[in-house]
A and B are shown apart, each in its own frame.
Chain A
Amino acid sequence: MTLDTRVILICSGKGGVGKTTLTANLGISLASKGSPTAVLDADFGLRNLDLLLGLENRIVYTAQEVLEEACRLDQALVKHKQEPNLSLLPAGNPRMLDWLKPEDMKKIIEMLSKEFKYVLIDCPAGVEDGFKNAVAASKEAIIVTNPEVSAVRDADRVIGLLNTHGIKPVQLVLNRVRPKMMETQEMLSIEDVTDILALPLLGLVLEDEQVIVSTNRGEPLTLIGSKSPAARCYSNIAGRLHGEEIPLIDPSKEGTSFRDKFRRLMQTKIF
């Protein structure tokens, strides 16, 4: 079977910028378009993808047992009940870190590529072994960053490493965008970040409290058909990945109240 599988690494360098949340939401969204999709938690030390997808209680086997040939791949895959096109391959336990090598990761990805159209790899933070293993098995990448100096700096480092590994294309997702702070120029603008990192922008995700609510419940926003700002952003990104043409959200148009209009007036260039 030739699926022309897309193996996409989702990475950031810095921790806590929203890699796992993006992976979960893109996974659900792509699966809902009818494409068999697998999400792989490559963070073997500190796994969390199962928790965000609400699958933490259904894990029996992990990638570790598959590699040891203690079970078959389909036994380790956890199928999402509400979105059966999506499967999670859980990471092994932290002991696994000692012996997992890039070849092992490649083997796992090869197995997944036979079954799925999309394989999303949730990369661990940092640029050490976990990152190197994940990169070895990937073809293309999404860099997740926030409009903050530390996140952008780490993203730049990761982009350099991806370039040396020949990963192409590398696209950018700017997460946790606060339109109001951008308007008052107290936050790096979208152009600032795309100019500095020199990457094509796959999409931006607006800061949204609903993300926390959805992680509390273990139900990604894209699963419950939420109309919240972040949910819209996530499904737009999934659509673009899938080849649909969806225009970018303009954060400056997000507010329409009098206060927002006043803010825009304040940003008018005078000279």
Chain B
Amino acid sequence: MGGRVKITLLLAPALLVIGVLFAGGLFAAVVQSLGYLPAIGQTEINFGAYRDVLTGEDFLNSLLLTIYVAGASTGISTVLAVLAALALRRSSGRLSAIVFQLPITIPHLVAAVGIALVVSQTGLGARFAATLGLIGEPAEFPALLYDRYSVGIILTYVWKEVPFIALVVLASLRGVAGELEDVARTLGANAWQRFWYVVFPVISPGIIAASLIVFAFTFGAFEVPYLLGKTYPTILPVMAYNEYRDIELTARPVAMAINVLIALITAVFAALYLRLAKDLGRG
């Protein structure tokens, strides 16, 4: 009992902040998405904004793009991170710490600008390629920013998230996995068998947790796609922002409806993911 009180007390400050700022904001968003805006004399509750959003083609286009960007970024980052962690686990702690901790300290905004400077058609990469004679002039460099396939956005996310996932995986690898693997080796398991039957089950909860965080983050993040994305379609958070800053106030419920839908979709994905983690754990 005493333990429980202590836990509650320890959690209280954090819960208070999350409760007031996050739940409060979400509540205000739900209310406004239902068309309740006393400032412009709208006090009637209705689902008009949701109907507009869900029946329009724009939302679907944005949703597909968002799932694509978040999914591709998460998938690529996870694979690269696991490979990197496996490669680095035997190395000294200092090297991996430097390689992996540096990008984590750099804000997404700065990362996006940095990537843009390197991969834009007048960027370092283009000039370098032109100097080497790979392309005739810098403008022939493939368009990687504001492009159909969101290459710039995904590159930024991969650069930022690989170290994050890798650190989590490294932590679980440095634990019991090494010893178990040695046992498997003495019992005659080959490299693939050691990875699939011994190492992977140990690190999979870490991978799932870390990649879920990355997915949820990239699904709802705003700044990188805002800087490096196409004008249309945009990913959902940018779409919500564009509606929010619309000078016509009637667009406000639509912006809020999009925000509420982003939260809902992320929650559903998280639930599915956790379910998967549970099944994996059991298996």
Are A and B interaction partners?
no
Residues of A at the B interface (CB closer than 8 Å) are none
